[in-house]
Chains A and B, each alone.
Chain A
Amino acid sequence: MRRTLLYALLALAGLVTVLPLLYMVSLSLQTEAETLAADAVLVPDSPQWGNYAELFTRAPFGDFIVNSLVVAGAITLAHLLFDPLVGYVFAKFRFPLRNTLFVALLATLMVPFFVRMIPLYVLMANLGWLNTYQGLITPFLMDAFGIFLMRQFIQPIPDDLIHAARIDGASELRVYRSVILPQTRPALAVLGLFTFVFQWNEFLWPLVATTTPEMRTIPVGLTLFNQEYFTLWHLTAAGSVILFVPTAVLFVLTQRHFVRGIALTGLK
């Protein structure tokens, strides 16, 4: 009895989660007439794969995809490069102002993006970086969360390993690259996945910082496409599927890392 109730609750939650997403896929394969039919069409008569091609002729959707890949990819690489390095310094080095700098770093966690939005816009306008890749990428090159995560992960690595490598004559950069970095691989996987997915989905800054369709990322390009062609729901849905599939595939392949990563963020 109790089991049945539990399954019913979970099944209901599962359906509410999945049905809208399935409808999005179905919508992307309908004809324009089907999307508006008084008798709601849930499964299209014959899947209109041509919708996906039509999307590319109505909007520079190829550009959107390239832009999203470049921006999310570059930001993810920067995080993988800098977050563990900075985390290592705060975990293993003693130096003047160390605690002050660490507090100054953690304080940035309290600064939501909207606080930086207007000054960053002005800064980018002055640099001539609006509507450029560097304008979209640079505000997100590092963040305190990623650095903190890596510091927590590096701290338990025994100091003796580092000392031994130094005595063997390894340079500081080499100690980092061949002693520290290989041990952080699981944490790097989590960091890379989260960074990529969140940047792939980022909405507000690409909306603010782009001025021509050719520079838009998929979420912004798609939303503004929908404002322009608000009756062409089958095409909006096709664009949504394109935006959705990479993160969904990435997630299903790595869901263990994701779940562990989320649980990790909840620990103090």
Chain B
Amino acid sequence: MSVRTPRTLAGRYARTAYLFLLPAILFFAAFFYLPIGNVVATSLRTGPQADQWAGLGNYADALGDPAVRHSFLVTVAFAVMVVIGSIVLGLALALALDQPLRGRVVFRVLLLVPYLTSVAIVGLLWRNILDPELGVLNRVLAGLGLPGQQWLNTAPLLTIACVTLWQSVGYTMVLFLAGLQGIPETYHEAARIDGADAWRRFWRITLPLLAPTTLFVSVMAVISGLQAFGQAYIITNGGPGDATDLSVFHIFNVAFRTRDFGYSSAQSVLLLVVIVAFTLVQLRAGRRGEVTY
């Protein structure tokens, strides 16, 4: 094959561009767009080899399947807990660290450490700590003469949401800190001269001007919350019962334990639709709430 030399300069740059892009084009085609096409194609099929045409049957089954509906509800509830916790705790810690305190760098580093640990560590460690029978927390509480906890049985979803926050709150804190540092000090000064107290300044200046950061934090927290997996796999095994049967964990089990690729693919597509819908709603709500001073 002979490669014709492009006559124009623009043509030569275009050729260079495509040459440089070639590996990326092949990669994204083979490992993103082909799988996306395949997951949709598989979701329309059934049988152990996922080779019999099923039309929208898998989708109809999934929408009518109480276990699937339950796992979606559990997942949305989990994501809501994680979002609220991320915003409230992340912002509170950022506001504290935004003050001219000694040792703030140390605190910032400390709070970020769990964010860099694997979900395997986080999950195993907290399962060991919280285990109602053997966990160290109950043995410490008993040593102090205090009653033990059964959180993994009494409030399993909230408990794994808190464990997730333990890991991720340092990340949201750093995002909020960056947002806070982007608010010009002059606004606060002007408000102070006008006699606004700290509480009022927080609600009227800090919070509205942080809106873009808050939006970003909540979008990221929803996206990662809706696709949480390790927490259910490692800490609770989806239980007790099906109380923490998070969607990706449910899909994983249908795909790799029940070996029903068609049904699990349809559920993947549905979960993707939920995630995209949540993201769009948040972005729209965020745009409406935007302010400029």
Residues of A that sit less than 8 Å from B by CB: 3, 6-7, 9-10, 13-14, 16-18, 20-21, 23-24, 27, 36-40, 42, 82, 85-86, 88-89, 93-96, 98, 101, 104-105, 108, 110-123, 138-139, 141-142, 147, 172, 176, 197, 200-204, 207-208, 218-220, 222-223, 226, 233, 236-237, 240, 243-244, 247-248, 251-252, 255, 258-259, 262-263, 265-268
Contact with A along B50-84 (1 / 0, CB 8 A): 00000000000000000000000000000000000
Asked whether, in the complex, the Cβ of B108 is within 8 Å of the Cβ of A115, the reply is no
Candidates A6, A17, A208, A220; contact of B101 at CB < 8 Å = A6
Contact with A along B112-130 (1 / 0, CB 8 A): 1110111111011110110
Number of A-B contacts (CB under 8 A): 240
Nearest 10 CB-CB pairings of A with B: A201-B118, A219-B120, A263-B178, A40-B139, A119-B38, A119-B35, A95-B14, A93-B17, A95-B17, A266-B175
Which residues of chain A come closer than 8 Å to B21, judged between CB atoms? 86, 89, 101
* A113 to B39 CA separation, bound complex (whole angstroms): 12
Interface of chain A, helix or strand or loop or mixed? helix
Asked whether, in the complex, the Cβ of B230 is within 8 Å of the Cβ of A36, the reply is no
Asked whether, in the complex, the Cβ of A204 is within 8 Å of the Cβ of B230, the reply is yes
Interface of chain B, helix or strand or loop or mixed? helix
B: number of interface residues (CB 8 Å): 87
Asked whether, in the complex, the Cβ of B125 is within 8 Å of the Cβ of A219, the reply is no
Asked whether, in the complex, the Cβ of A112 is within 8 Å of the Cβ of B118, the reply is no
Asked whether, in the complex, the Cβ of A108 is within 8 Å of the Cβ of B28, the reply is yes
Asked whether, in the complex, the Cβ of B31 is within 8 Å of the Cβ of A20, the reply is no
Which residues of chain B come closer than 8 Å to A115, judged between CB atoms? 35-36, 39, 268-269, 272
Candidates B128, B175, B223, B268; contact of A263 at CB < 8 Å = B175
Would A89 and B17 be within 8 Å (CB), given that A114-B227, A259-B174 are in contact? Answer: yes
Asked whether, in the complex, the Cβ of B24 is within 8 Å of the Cβ of A93, the reply is no
Asked whether, in the complex, the Cβ of A17 is within 8 Å of the Cβ of B166, the reply is yes
